[in-house]
Amino acid sequence: MTTDTAAGRFGRYGGRYVPETLVPALMELEGAYAEAQRDAAFGAEVARVLREFVGRPTMLTPAHRLTESWGGAQVWLKREDLAHTGAHKINNTVGQVLLARRMGKKRIIAETGAGQHGVATATACALFGLPCEVFMGALDVERQALNVFRMRALGAVVRPVESGSRTLKDAMNEAMRIWVSQVEDTYYVIGSAAGPHPYPTIVRDFQAIIGKEIREQTQAAIGRLPDAIIACVGGGSNAIGALHPFIPDASVRLVGVEAAGHGLQSGQHGASLTLGTEGVLHGSRSLVLQDEHGQIQEAHSISAGLDYPGVGPELAHLAKTGRMEVRTATDDDALSAFYEVARTEGILPALETSHAFAAARGLARDMGKGKHLVINCSGRGDKDVATISARGVPPATGVKS
């Protein structure tokens, strides 16, 4: 099926596959966003909030001990974990909630998997005084108790979703269904660079601040662009944000890391770029995990932020055209990377980010000395401590017991 005339395409991917009820709202959003982009005052306000409230620019930290331990490229960490609320998600929610306010919307809905997007949306809503409802798979409500508390503390209503796999995919279905019935006054803040046009573009644009800062910061630190940037990919908002500003720079390797879960052969993973096939999920055409009959399969990852059976359409396009390299890391790889980073750099990365670290070791070694590798630290690991500690903590290092 070719639909070249449709807006919001990334090669074959993207588009707007939604009930007709939502099409006018998406067109309104497209128009409002284009207008906001032309308005210097809007851009200035987003920049001000990012600076004063979010804490941007986030640092680019040299990872001396990891660099030494891995024995390859010089490793740099882009510290989205230091952004307010502890993850990159806040960049996008601040932008979208300001956009919603500009559009005169009265309430905000969102969906969340690991809870970081829900927390970031609840935070932006609290900051700008808008009521907020967050749909969250019931399974994720159980395994992300800390973030559920944070959302409630911030004044948001958390609505557990019991259907399907009770995870992010089902929360997104439910948010779309609720949006269909309340579309007149409700703004749906999508958290990943996925969903129907114009969301993949809007989310990417608000997250591209990450890559823009990496450009400036590497120029300042090493006098040139990095040789590679690596980021984890669930829906892919941190990845497209970090990578997008470098797409024209052929010298920069762009690397995405997907969740291999229990292993790519196990059938329990979240590797939609690696093993997905072309399909339509949540309003856009992309690569999805599905069976031969077009039924969406449940994804698995130890990380609630990566067990999504789809991926943003632009990342699908970058992967298919070869501009982005795709690697995978299993649950066990991610766990072991979590402790390695904690104990060599003093940072507890989110389990999502741990996947990027797990694949970065091999990449750094492949690249070799004299090269520079940036790892996008999408978020901090506090929300995951219950999941991780349940598996037992390795003994302390360098201390006699």
> Which secondary structure element, helix H or strand E, spans residue 77, and what is its range?
strand 74-79
Residue 2 CB, shortest distance to another protein, in Å, is 5
Residue 208 CB, shortest distance to another protein, in Å, is 26
In contact, 241 and 207? CB cutoff 8 Å: yes
> Which secondary structure element, helix H or strand E, spans residue 178, and what is its range?
helix 168-181
Residues present in the chain in total: 401
Of the residues 111, 133, 258, 352, only one is catalytic, namely 111
**Could you say whether residue 16 binds another protein (CB under 8 A)?**
yes
Chain positions 268 to 307 lying near another protein, rule: CB under 8 A, are 278-283, 288, 290, 292-296
Active-site residue, 89 included: yes
| Closer residue to another protein in complex, CB, 19/43 | 19
Binds another protein (CB under 8 A): choice among 40, 52, 129, 184: 184
- The DSSP line for 254-293 is EEEEEEEET-GGGT----HHHH-EEEEETTEEEEE-B-TT
What is the size of the binding site for another protein (CB under 8 A)? 41
Q: How far apart are CA 180 and CA 165, in angstroms?
A: 22
Cα 247 to chain centroid, rounded = 18
φ, ψ at 30 (rounded to 5°): -60, -45
Chain positions 140 to 169 lying near another protein, rule: CB under 8 A, are 163-164, 169
Nearest alpha-carbon partner for 197 in 29, 15, 23: 15
Of the residues 105, 165, 378, 383, only one is catalytic, namely 378
Residue 282 CB, shortest distance to another protein, in Å, is 7
Residue 181 CB, shortest distance to another protein, in Å, is 3
Q: How many CB atoms lie within 10 A of CB 220?
A: 9
Active-site residue, 303 included: no
Binds another protein (CB under 8 A): choice among 177, 212, 215, 320: 177
Burial of 48 (0-12, 13-18, 19+ CB in 10 A): exposed
Q: Which stretch binds another protein (CB under 8 A): 17-25, 34-42, 72-80, 262-270?
A: 17-25
Of the residues 78, 89, 105, 383, only one is catalytic, namely 89
Q: How far apart are CA 238 and CA 224, in angstroms?
A: 22
**β-pairing verdict for 60-62 and 74-79:** antiparallel
In contact, 136 and 171? CB cutoff 8 Å: yes
Residue 31 CB, shortest distance to another protein, in Å, is 13
Q: Which stretch binds another protein (CB under 8 A): 177-185, 236-244, 254-262, 328-336?
A: 177-185
| Closer residue to another protein in complex, CB, 88/169 | 169
| Closer residue to another protein in complex, CB, 29/324 | 29
Active-site residue, 378 included: yes
**Could you say whether residue 7 binds another protein (CB under 8 A)?**
yes
Residue 337 CB, shortest distance to another protein, in Å, is 32
φ, ψ at 170 (rounded to 5°): -75, -35
Q: How far apart are CA 240 and CA 390, in angstroms?
A: 32
Sites of contact with another protein (CB under 8 A): 1-3, 5-7, 15-25, 163-164, 169, 173, 176-177, 180-184, 278-283, 288, 290, 292-296
User: Which residues are identified as catalytic?
Assistant: 89, 111, 378
